[in-house]
């Protein structure tokens, strides 16, 4: 494990992100059950509906998780700069938390607002890590 110790902060950030998505899964599932929705169904698309926003935030986390995990895995395997690795995954986690809170509180416009900025900034962290991985592989 010593060879991976330098990556521990970034890996912990990624694992915290996974735990957040898992917590969202439980909360959304409970919310759907309370609303009488059958498993696998979606709440009506309405940004004024807290369950719809929670479900969309959860789904978005599920969608980006494989990319974040793969970028991190490859980064550790190829030995990218641990400083950049930890910074990018730490920022990613922070931005994902901001994203979830903004979505839950329905802050800003549904599109092109502060939530979009938080999403794109977190997405850019994963893109940057992927580029670093690729450059290291070349």
3-state per-residue secondary structure call for the chain: CHHHHHHHHHHHHHHHHHHHHHHHHHHHHHHHHHCCCCCCCCCCCCCCCHHHHHHHHHHHHHHHHHHHHHHHHHHHHHCCCHHHHHHHHHHHHHHHHHHHHHHHHCCCCCCCCHHHHHHHHHHHHHHHHHHHHHHHHC
**Residue-averaged pLDDT of the chain:** 94
User: What pLDDT was estimated at residue 1?
Assistant: 53
Question: In the predicted model, what is the mean pLDDT of residues 69-95?
Answer: 98
Could you tell me which of 129, 134, 107 has the C-alpha nearest to residue 118? 107
Q: What distance in Å separates the CA atoms of residue 68 and residue 80, rounded to the nearest whole number?
A: 15
Question: In the predicted model, what is the mean pLDDT of residues 10-26?
Answer: 98
The two tokens of residue 18 are: 């996974």
Rg (CA), the chain: 17
Instruction: Identify the domain containing residue 80 by its residue range.
Output: 2-137
Q: What distance in Å separates the CA atoms of residue 115 and residue 112, rounded to the nearest whole number?
A: 8
Q: What would the pLDDT profile of 21-66 be if each residue is shown by its tens digit?
A: 999 999 999 999 999 998 888 999 998 999 999 999 999 999 999 9
Domains contained in the chain, number: 1
Question: In the predicted model, what is the mean pLDDT of residues 100-125?
Answer: 91
Least confident of 39-48, 66-75, 76-85, 125-134: 39-48
92 pLDDT exceeds 80? yes
CATH label of the domain that carries residue 97: 1.20.120.550
């Amino acid at each position: 494990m010593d060879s991976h110790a330098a990556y521990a902060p970034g890996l912990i950030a990624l694992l915290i992100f996974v735990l957040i998505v898992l917590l969202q899964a439980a909360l959304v599932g409970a919310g759907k059950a309370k609303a009488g929705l059958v498993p696998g169904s979606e709440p009506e698309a309405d940004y004024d509906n807290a369950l719809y926003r929670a479900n969309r935030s959860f789904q978005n986390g599920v969608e980006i998780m494989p990319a974040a995990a793969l970028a991190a895995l490859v980064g550790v395997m190829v030995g990218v700069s641990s400083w950049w690795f930890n910074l990018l995954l730490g920022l990613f986690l922070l931005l994902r938390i901001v994203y979830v809170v903004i979505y839950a509180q329905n802050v800003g416009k549904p599109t092109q607002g502060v939530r979009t900025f938080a999403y794109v900034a977190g997405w850019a962290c994963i893109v940057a890590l992927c580029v670093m991985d690729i450059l290291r592989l070349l």
